[in-house]
Structure 1
Amino acid sequence: MPREHEDLLKSRLDINVLYDLYGGLLTDKQRKAFELHEMADCSLSEVADALKMSRQGAFELLQRAKRRLVEVEEIVGFKSTLSAFDKYKIDVERLLDQYDDKLPKEFKSEMLKLLSDLEETGDQDV
């Protein structure tokens, strides 16, 4: 896959994660436009028609919504925190595997249970 496609895909995934976290902070119209364009894969013209506005208006509405999501993340940092937890979890699992033969089985089992509980806590809706 060309690098530009990878960057576009990563960008779309990132903004969708931000929407999952902070979408409730957008206006109803911004949420509807975002959902139509990003999730239902509607074109700007289709979004504009659905919201009874111009194509330019739909574009600007989407841009404001995306900027708002990024601004909230910069202030709150919840996505960054979740990413850090994911990295720590992977690092701990790697260490448990690396020292598998030196650790008591009960210890490893308890650690894996704690990591699983942490992951379940992170999967809950915000």
Structure 2
Amino acid sequence: MPWDNDALEKTNRINVLHDFYGALLTEKQQTFIKCYYHDDYTLAEIASEFQISRQAVYEHLKRAEQVLEEYESKLHLMDRHGRLHAGIDLLETQIAGLPPEWRQSLTETAAKLRNAE
């Protein structure tokens, strides 16, 4: 099945949301999200593995996606992470334009910021 951009963007978004909030999901939700979005299992493969219907898998996934989106709408961790890294990228670009004697210390500080998470 060829992936379109929307499906790929959704997969990437769910995987990132799972990175931030996955521990807050139920164990079953975590497992289904990982199988479907990370390991690329089909609904039928997951259903067979857990001996439930494809519809039940679909409903578990939709609920897990909804919960992840609700956490992001309240906590904004993914958004904050994106803004932070965009700011650090800009800072590193600006540092590169400075005289060489100023760069090392500022580059080290930018690296510390990038690794602070």
So what's the TM-score if we normalise by structure 1? 0.84
Q: Which runs of 5+ in 1 are unaligned?
A: none
- Using the alignment, how far apart are the partners of 2:14 and 2:83 within structure 1? 18
Once the two structures are TM-superposed, the CA of residue 97 in structure 1 deviates from its matched residue by 2.1
Instruction: Count matched residues.
Output: 115
Q: Aligned Cα RMSD in Å?
A: 1.5
Deviation at 1:15, TM superposition (A): 0.9
Match of 1:119 among 81, 92, 114: 114
Q: Distance in 1 between matches of 2:87 and 2:44?
A: 43
Does structure 2 retain, via aligned residues, the 8 Å contact 1:33–1:51? no
Which residue of 2 is the match for residue 28 of structure 1? Answer: 27
Name the counterpart of 2:62. 63
Amino acid corresponding to residue 34 of structure 2 in structure 1: E
Alignment match, 1:108: 103
* Residue 80 of structure 1: aligned partner: 79
Q: Does the 8 Å CA contact 2:14/2:37 hold for their aligned counterparts?
A: no
Percent of paired sites with the same residue: 27
Which blocks of at least 5 consecutive residues in structure 2 are unaligned? none
